[in-house]
Chains A and B, each alone.
Chain A
Amino acid sequence: MPDRDQLKASIAAYLASSLAEGPDDVRFAELALRLHAWQKAHAPVVAALTEGTPASVAEIPAVPVDLFKQLPVGTVGEHEPCVVFRTSGTTAGTRGEHRSRDTDLYDAGALAWLKACEPELPGHVVALLSNPAQVPDSSLSHMVALFPQLALRGEVHWFLRDGVVQAEAARAHLAACTEPVFLCATSFAMADFLDADPQPLPAGSAVMVTGGFKGRRTDLSEDDLWAAIHHRLQPARLITEYGMTELSSQLWGRPGTAYRPPPWLKVIAVDPVTTRPVLPGTPGQLRFYDLCNLDSSLGIETMDEGIVHPDGSVTLFGRLAGAEPRGCSLTVEEAWGLMDDDR
């Protein structure tokens, strides 16, 4: 696909140039409009949601994340070889699929932006996550598997199996470490690990947590978790990540600070009812425009609420207000579960 190859090369070039020289809104918009036009021509879902020809990034349709659970979003054909990342399971068992022909842009972007935000991370990575060799459809595991490349040495040790943190094994592994480590986990895996009473990490270590508790832990707030990490593990750095299976780029932050998107990911907050962009600093529904989403959809509409600050950084509030406004009727998740056997 020559068009794709050219686009991919242009985006890769922008990844490099925007990091070296800073973001370029004009170049971003030009690339975004080119990418959207290509996706519109090759992705039926994007085409169905597009009316006319967008003149700006904000006019490009953002595909609601739920559609990734119901339809093949993107340009990859049904039988075409591809990499598939899937969202975690839901109560109804429906998982979203993000399909890409390759992970070249994902990998380049993930490494470059983490390095820019958090230089000199330890190459010895301990992950309270599933090994991607066993769970190849986890985008989070895929990303963490890249991290040793940042230090040009090291490896990842995985301590999650069948959804259960191998806390004792992880604790023993960490207790034997004398060099700094980079400990990576989801919030709920980290909370489970802390329950195992781990020792402080070696000096110079870093900890990354990502995601909320998604109803799995109600006894711990985000602030409580961060405090517990500082108290028990005593890392030199505590890093927070915001990512989604439906995105190919990540946002990084520190506890209590806004998340920083890379220059190739633009975040727009819109009024959830009118869909008009809100003023910077005003809460709204978050839409992401990710140039690394080459094969799927440039624009993604989340169900999350947050603030996009004037510098482009993002403060996340969580799910939009009124998440269950349907009285005694079925939720959409329940409805999917009910009809799933027939689909």
Chain B
Amino acid sequence: MSVDRVTAWLDHLRAHKADCPTGPLSEEGRDLILGHALDVLTPRALRQIATTPAPDCTAIVVARTSMTAPLEWAAMQLARGGRVLLKHPSGAPGLTTWFASTAAAHGLPLTATDDRQALAAADLLIALSSDDTIDTLRRQWPDTPLLGFGHKFSVAWLTDAREADALAADLAAHDSRGCMSPSVVLTPRSREEILPVLTAALDAAQARWPRGSLQPAEAAALRSRTAMVRVVGEVVEGRDWQLHRVPAARALPATWPRVLQLVTGATEADLQRFIGPRLSVLGIADGALPGLELRPTARRCPLGEMQRPPFPRRHDGVDMVEATAVR
């Protein structure tokens, strides 16, 4: 019963993407990430996870500008018969209110609020937020089980120029905001080999999914980083995208909107610098660097799949089905 309702709700979302707020994204960008989020939430996948019940009430704490991230968690718990509360930051509901209103129209107990006290009703807390927020939640609700997913980053290893379009698609999703976006792209190829291909791919991605708007601080931070790279590396600018070629030691696991941070002539040792507990996704071709070992918290996938995680899965090393079932 619940799975059917959730399926109907998700079908509604698929059919009415245009009703969804764009937030800082363009309409095309919004459709891209909604597609990514909805594609994997198939009736089959939902039936598969619905065999174990959810706690009565799961509250999902959503960070500012996290758009589709709570959807899979909400759909999973609703499909298992639970109630879901989406707690968004004050004044920044993102897509939560749209999810809640459309779900309610399908008889699903999904609500959205900015009231922190509403978390008192939760039997399980899922926090997609900063480490500070997760620590605060742990202190404030010490008796409520909490799954905390803090800030992470992702990197890509590009060996074949034919993967450039897939990489550009990964970068375009969410306009590079978010932990699954490739913050640094390392390639053993030379600048001359790879730059023309990447610029063409970034141009094509921009044409297909135009970048949305920038917040004031975001624009200032982008300008600051661009200035830095002008001094230590090379900046290639397209329409609403930038490619920052930097020495490996200057590459940072942080993202700026539609910025591809590139290390050319990279070695496996350069990549190893990023392999740690904060790594979320490594985008890499099948079979490349077979000896490379990742921590269990990281996901390895082909380029083009970085922003399209499977469902269900281990999220940051946590079995999302097992960890959210009634204990």
Q: Do A and B come from one complex?
A: yes
Chain A contact residues, CB within 8 Å of chain B: 44-45, 48-49, 63-67, 70-71, 272-273, 275, 285, 301, 303, 305, 319-332, 334-336, 338-339, 342-343
B contact residues, range: 35 or more
Q: Smallest CB-CB separation from A73: which chain B residue?
A: B231
Contact flags B223-256 to A (C-beta < 8 A → 1, else 0) = 1110110111000000000000000010111110
Q: Is the CB of A64 within 8 A of B254?
A: no
Q: Is the CB of B151 within 8 A of A329?
A: yes
Contact flags B48-92 to A (C-beta < 8 A → 1, else 0) = 000000000000000111110100000000000000000000000
Q: Is the CB of A273 within 8 A of B224?
A: no
Question: Which residues of B lie under 8 Å from residue A48 when comparing CB positions?
Answer: 227, 230-231
Q: Is the CB of B224 within 8 A of A67?
A: yes
> Could you write out 30 A-B pairs with CB less than 8 Å apart?
A45-B231, A64-B220, A66-B228, A71-B228, A273-B214, A273-B216, A301-B224, A303-B224, A320-B217, A321-B216, A322-B218, A325-B215, A325-B218, A326-B178, A327-B64, A328-B150, A328-B178, A329-B152, A329-B183, A329-B255, A330-B179, A330-B255, A331-B151, A332-B225, A332-B252, A332-B254, A335-B183, A335-B252, A335-B253, A338-B278
B174 at the interface (CB under 8 A from A): yes
Q: Is the CB of B151 within 8 A of A330?
A: yes
A193–B214 Cα gap in the complex (Å)? 41
Q: Is the CB of B216 within 8 A of A63?
A: no
Q: Is the CB of A329 within 8 A of B179?
A: yes
Q: Smallest CB-CB separation from B151: which chain A residue?
A: A330
Q: Is the CB of B64 within 8 A of A325?
A: yes
Q: Is the CB of B217 within 8 A of A49?
A: no
Q: Is the CB of B153 within 8 A of A329?
A: yes
- Residue among A301, A321, A327, A329 making CB contact with B254, cutoff 8 Å: A329
Q: Is the CB of A322 within 8 A of B215?
A: yes
Q: Is the CB of A327 within 8 A of B223?
A: no
Q: Is the CB of A338 within 8 A of B224?
A: no
Q: Is the CB of B273 within 8 A of A342?
A: yes
B149 at the interface (CB under 8 A from A): yes
B200 at the interface (CB under 8 A from A): no
Question: Which residues of B lie under 8 Å from residue A49 when comparing CB positions?
Answer: 227, 230-231
Question: Which residues of A lie under 8 Å from residue B252 when comparing CB positions?
Answer: 332, 335-336, 339
Q: Is the CB of A327 within 8 A of B69?
A: yes
Known interface pairs A66-B224, A71-B232. Does A328 touch B216 (Cβ–Cβ under 8 Å)? no
Question: Which residues of A lie under 8 Å from residue B276 when comparing CB positions?
Answer: 338
Q: Is the CB of B216 within 8 A of A335?
A: no
Q: Is the CB of B223 within 8 A of A325?
A: no
A329–B175 Cα gap in the complex (Å)? 12
B264 at the interface (CB under 8 A from A): no
A335–B253 Cα gap in the complex (Å)? 5
Q: Is the CB of B230 within 8 A of A324?
A: no
A327–B223 Cα gap in the complex (Å)? 19
Contact flags B205-226 to A (C-beta < 8 A → 1, else 0) = 0000000001111111101110
A330–B255 Cα gap in the complex (Å)? 8
A216–B66 Cα gap in the complex (Å)? 27
Q: Smallest CB-CB separation from B276: which chain A residue?
A: A338
Q: Smallest CB-CB separation from B89: which chain A residue?
A: A324
Question: Which residues of A lie under 8 Å from residue B214 when comparing CB positions?
Answer: 273
Known interface pairs A48-B230, A49-B231, A325-B177. Does A272 touch B65 (Cβ–Cβ under 8 Å)? no
A343–B250 Cα gap in the complex (Å)? 8
A313–B151 Cα gap in the complex (Å)? 40
A66–B223 Cα gap in the complex (Å)? 10
Least Cβ–Cβ distance between A333 and chain B, in angstroms: 9
